[in-house]
């Protein structure tokens, strides 16, 4: 029984880490930052956490004074599965919105990202600090990218003509040969025809002109269908799509792996290097 509970606990951590989000932060220009913390050992950090949230918000140009109808909440709480205990840290944006086709206003969570940590002896402060920093950074990067839509229109395409419009190769060997000739790394976008997160990555990230320019400047991009298996064996180990690989074109060594739409911030950070 203990083994089953531990297994369930590990699965919960895995799926929380892989959690994906359809949420958009376009037009979010005001909210009240709040901290809700039910972990007694961590309550003493509330003031510092709110200071971090406010600093990030100020950097984004978000007004944080007097907007109780929209709140950005950092929630810290314990949970348990059997004898295994963890702490869930979640960053949530709650606001009043109108139901489609109705004048009824309801309070809804319009953004959510979370992580689970398993406290280690004398390390709660460091674990919390790292986790909160990652959640705030993911929010900050998505806010920046989502609000660039106003000034940087996406290219128009359907999934079937993505490669043609965006000038991605569709054959691994052809792309590798081109990358070697141009002395650039290869960027492999692993997709499937039925993956909604792949479509979101295409339209919300890769199609943005400033991002597309940077991709073609740094890499030779290629889009491949995971189901077709027309690529090297080492690209079959991760079955989640979308997955982005950065590959050294000379050695064919995988330098970076970015799994899932929720990790787009890691990809955007990579482009800035």
pLDDT at residue 14, as a whole number:
42
- Report pLDDT for 66: 77
- Main-chain dihedrals φ then ψ at residue 159, nearest 5 degrees: -60, -40
pLDDT at position 19 is 43
Domain count, the chain: 2
Q: What is the pLDDT of residue 156?
A: 62
Claim to verify: residue 146 and residue 177 sit in the same structural domain: no
| Ranges of residues in the chain whose predicted pLDDT is under 70 | 1-22, 121, 149-158, 262
- Shortest CA distance to 22 belongs to which of 273, 233, 262, 224? 262
Q: Indicate whether 261 and 238 sit together in one domain.
A: yes
Same domain, 212 and 193: yes
**Host domain of residue 133:** 2-150
Q: What is the pTM of this model?
A: 0.53
Give the list of residues 6+ apart from residue 14 with CB closer than 8 angstroms, or none: none
Residues 10 and 128 occupy one common structural domain: yes
Which one of 115, 150, 185 terminates a domain? 150
Long-range contacts of 161-170 (CB under 8 A, 24+ apart): 162/202, 162/223, 163/223, 166/206, 166/207, 166/212, 166/221, 167/216, 167/221, 168/221, 168/222, 168/223, 169/220, 169/221, 169/222, 169/223, 170/222, 170/223, 170/224
The pLDDT value given to residue 33? 95
Specify the pLDDT at position 54.
Answer: 92
Q: How far apart are CA 46 and CA 67, in angstroms?
A: 20
Give residue 12's pLDDT: 45
Domain at 176, CATH number: 3.40.30.10
Does residue 128 sit in the same domain as residue 45?
yes
Give me the pLDDT at residue 15, please: 42
Domain check: are 167 and 41 in the same one? Answer: no
Listed residues 150, 183, 199: the one ending a domain: 150
The domain boundary residue, chosen from 131, 150, 169: 150
| Strand partners of residue 89 | 76, 115
| Same-domain status, 168 and 127 | no
The reported pLDDT for the residue numbered 104 is: 82
Taking CA atoms, 153 is separated from 106, 145, 160, 207, in Å, by 31, 12, 20, 9
pLDDT tens sequence across 222-260? 999 999 998 999 999 899 999 999 999 999 999 999 998
pLDDT, residue 17, reads 43
Domain match, 135 and 218 both: no
């Amino acid at each position: 029984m203990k083994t089953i509970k531990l297994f369930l606990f590990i699965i919960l951590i895995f799926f929380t880490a892989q959690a994906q989000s359809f949420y958009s932060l376009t037009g979010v220009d005001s909210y009240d930052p709040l901290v809700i913390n039910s972990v007694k050992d961590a309550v003493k950090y509330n003031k510092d956490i709110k200071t971090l949230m406010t600093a990030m918000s100020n950097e984004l140009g978000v007004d944080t004074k007097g907007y109780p109808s929209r709140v950005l909440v950092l929630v810290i709480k314990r949970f348990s599965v059997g004898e295994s205990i963890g702490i869930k840290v979640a960053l949530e944006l709650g606001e009043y919105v109108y139901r489609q086709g109705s004048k009824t206003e309801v309070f809804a969570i319009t953004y959510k990202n979370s992580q689970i940590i398993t406290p280690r002896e004398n390390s709660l402060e460091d674990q919390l600090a790292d986790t909160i920093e990652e959640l705030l950074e993911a929010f900050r990067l998505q806010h920046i990218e989502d609000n660039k839509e106003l000034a940087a229109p996406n290219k128009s395409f359907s999934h079937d003509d993505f490669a043609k419009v965006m000038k991605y190769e569709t054959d691994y060997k052809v792309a590798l040969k081109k990358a070697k000739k141009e002395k650039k790394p290869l960027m492999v976008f692993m997709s499937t025809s039925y993956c909604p997160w792949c479509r979101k990555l295409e339209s919300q990230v890769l199609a943005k002109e400033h991002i597309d320019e940077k991709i073609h400047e740094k890499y030779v991009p290629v889009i491949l269908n995971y189901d077709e298996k027309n690529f090297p064996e080492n690209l079959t180990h991760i079955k989640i799509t979308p997955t982005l690989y950065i590959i050294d074109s000379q050695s064919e060594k995988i330098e970076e792996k970015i799994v899932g739409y929720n990790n787009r911030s890691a990809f955007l950070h990579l482009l800035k290097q």
